[in-house]
Copies of this chain bind each other. A is one copy, B any other.
Amino acid sequence: MILTVTLNTALDLTYRVPRLLPHTSHRVTRVLERPGGKGLNVARVLAALGHETVVTGFAGGTTGETVRRLLSECAPADGTLGDQLLEITGATRRTVAVVDAGTGDTTQLNEAGPHVSPHEWAAFGERYARLLDDASAVALCGSLPPGVPVGAYAHLVREARARRVPVLLDTSGEPLRRGIAARPDVVKPNAAELAALTGSTDPLRAAQDARRRGAHAVAASLGTDGMLALTPQGTWRAAPPKPLPGNPTGAGDAAVAGLLSALAEGLPWPDRLTRAVALATAAVRAPAAGEYDPVLYEESLPRVRVTAL
């Protein structure tokens, strides 16, 4: 199975309002509730692709219960999405995306997350090690909740490497900086995360720097420009079909699912990138992160152009 780790799961709320006017009162005209946190989004795409997938990380409180219920409701009926989240005392955070129906713009409000105790973090380490025994690949995704050490991903990368389980890291800031030094197989930053890590706004130069810092491969998602991959097997650009209007939230998570599923199937890098870019394209047309338009995905696959640099 493919394992995804979400240490800071979330109850994602999307609120539609006719128009967002600061310092006034708004009647929310539509509420969407989704299981959230990058790793959960990745897992939902993997399961929809037919991969046996297991999620782990932390969930707690009534918000955590809601996340787990929503996750089970959106899992495929064939049981390919397993819930191995560890229950903790603190309550899972909420995120609120306020969509202005007039402009389509989104204002995001993210709670920080529950405090994770040292005991809970240690218990997670045991569960993670056990789950790695059955994993063909693992993705470590998103922010760290309070209480989890900033070097958490470095530790989890080393554990996976020691068991020869390919590991992909998708985070930002100091957890990314520390995690890269532990030599993950793949990192999947976006342009802003790469620039924050390396100080360079040139994606090619920044990706080269990220490899020097320890990443075996860097697959950078560049929005409507597709992806750029620097790997031990070569360097490629993958350009998407003509960009479509839609919701870019979750496109990066769909790309991670594409990279990871193709890696687990033993496909070469150009095929991994094709799948990642086609899924990201199809995710932009879906209403929420963790979802994609399957028809658009199939249509996009032959239209992604991968070029060796």
- Residues of chain A touching chain B, judged by Cβ–Cβ distance below 8 Å, are 13, 15, 17, 20-29, 31, 62-63, 65-66, 94, 96, 98, 100, 103, 105-112
Contact = CB atoms under 8 A, between A and B. Distances in A.
A22 B100 contact: yes
A62 B107 CA distance: 25
How many copies altogether?
2
Contact of A27 (B31, B62, B96, B110): B110
A126 B22 CA distance: 42
Contacts of A107: 20-26
B31 A108 contact: no
A256 B273 CA distance: 63
A297 B188 CA distance: 57
Contact of A108 (B26, B65, B106, B112): B26
A38 to B, nearest CB: 14
Nearest to A21: B107
Contacts of A24: 107-108
B28 A109 contact: yes
Contacts of A103: 23
A31 to B, nearest CB: 5
B105 A26 contact: no
Nearest to A97: B25
A81 to B, nearest CB: 21
What are the 9 A-B residue pairs with the smallest beta carbon separation, nearest first?
A: A25-B108, A23-B105, A62-B62, A28-B111, A62-B66, A22-B107, A26-B109, A20-B22, A31-B111
A96 B22 CA distance: 13
Contacts of A15: 96, 109, 111
A22 B112 CA distance: 19
23 contacts: A15-B111, A17-B109, A20-B22, A21-B107, A22-B22, A22-B100, A22-B105, A22-B107, A23-B103, A23-B105, A24-B108, A25-B108, A25-B110, A26-B107, A26-B109, A27-B110, A28-B109, A28-B110, A28-B112, A29-B112, A62-B62, A62-B65, A96-B96
